[in-house]
Structure 1
Amino acid sequence: MSRLLPAVLDVVLVVVFAAVGRRSHAEGLDVAGVLRTALPFLVGTAAGWLVASIVLDGGPRTLGYGAVVVALTVVVGMGLRALAAQGTAPSFVVVATVVLSVLLLGWRLVARLVG
């Protein structure tokens, strides 16, 4: 259970990121569209969890763990989007990196301050 909540939070926040992005570009919020947008980033999030769990001693609630998850969410997500000929404009990469950092590191920071 200790690893489940952080994983669920990361997944939910990546889906929120995709939904907000679709909404801001008037692409609609249908479930299939949001999941299609989120999928490359969710694969990156899973990769981040895998790598962080192998290379770090700290648990999934730590900022270091979150940093690895953010990095791989962005790198793998953008790589998969590039392979699928989806948008990877430099401005999108910057915005995605900032927003995902705030979301995925933000809940960890709040949990740290509260706990």
Structure 2
Amino acid sequence: MPDYKKRWIIAAAADLVLILAFAAIGRDAHARGDILGGVFLTAWPFLAGAAVGWLASRAWKDALALWPSGVSVWIGAVLVGMLLRAVTNQTVVLPFIIVATLALGLFLLGYRALTAFAARLSRNRLSRH
């Protein structure tokens, strides 16, 4: 499997897991029951939004890049996610929007930034030898 295919599969899986983790953490913080179904109920709008971000930016071309891939996935997850929550009568209040924006930004951009930093360190080490 070519390297770019591995990267987009890894990035898509990471986005999926991190959005599910965001939903699980939020549900746990609010002591909500129905763990598996509840996590999916909370996560699906953000997962759909992330998919829109993937498609809009064609993130598979450079899935681990902060820009445009990471930012598009993050913004898609938040904007489309909140819109879908609103039209399905799920909670959309300013404190939740702020928390979701910050948490999803940390999750979806954070691992991409760490990956870029690690790659840069690796290149610098190789260029010195």
1:60 to 63, 73, 76: 63
Where do 4+ consecutive residues of structure 1 move more than 4 Å? Answer: none
| Corresponding residue number in structure 1 for 2:126 | none
Once the two structures are aligned, what percentage of the paired residues are identical?
39
Structure 2 CA distance, aligned partners of 1:18 and 1:99?
10
Letter in 2 for 1:23: D
Tell me the TM-score normalised to structure 2 length.
0.83
Whether the 8 Å CA contact 1:6–1:60 is kept in 2: the answer is: yes
Query: The residue matched to 1:2 in structure 2 has which SS?
Result: helix
| Corresponding residue number in structure 2 for 1:22 | 27
Structure whose residues are more often helix by fraction: 2
Letter in 2 for 1:72: G
Letter in 1 for 2:43: A
Ranges in structure 2 where 5+ consecutive residues have no aligned partner: 1-5, 120-129
Structure 1 CA distance, aligned partners of 2:33 and 2:9?
30
State the Cα distance separating 1:28 from its structure 2 match. Answer: 2.8
Structure 1 CA distance, aligned partners of 2:28 and 2:35?
10
Deviation sequence 1:26-55 (CA, Å, 0-9, x none): 1136211111110011000111100010xx
Mark the CA change 1:12 to 1:29 in structure 2 (over 3 Å): closer, same or farther.
farther
Structure 1 CA distance, aligned partners of 2:73 and 2:9?
15
Alignment RMSD:
1.5
Letter in 1 for 2:81: G
| Corresponding residue number in structure 1 for 2:95 | 91
1:32-51 mapped onto 2 (5 Å cutoff): 32-51=37-56
Larger Cα Rg: Structure 1 or Structure 2? 2
Deviation sequence 1:44-84 (CA, Å, 0-9, x none): 0111100010xx7x611111110111001000100000001
Structure 2 CA distance, aligned partners of 1:29 and 1:98?
25
Whether the 8 Å CA contact 1:23–1:29 is kept in 2: the answer is: no
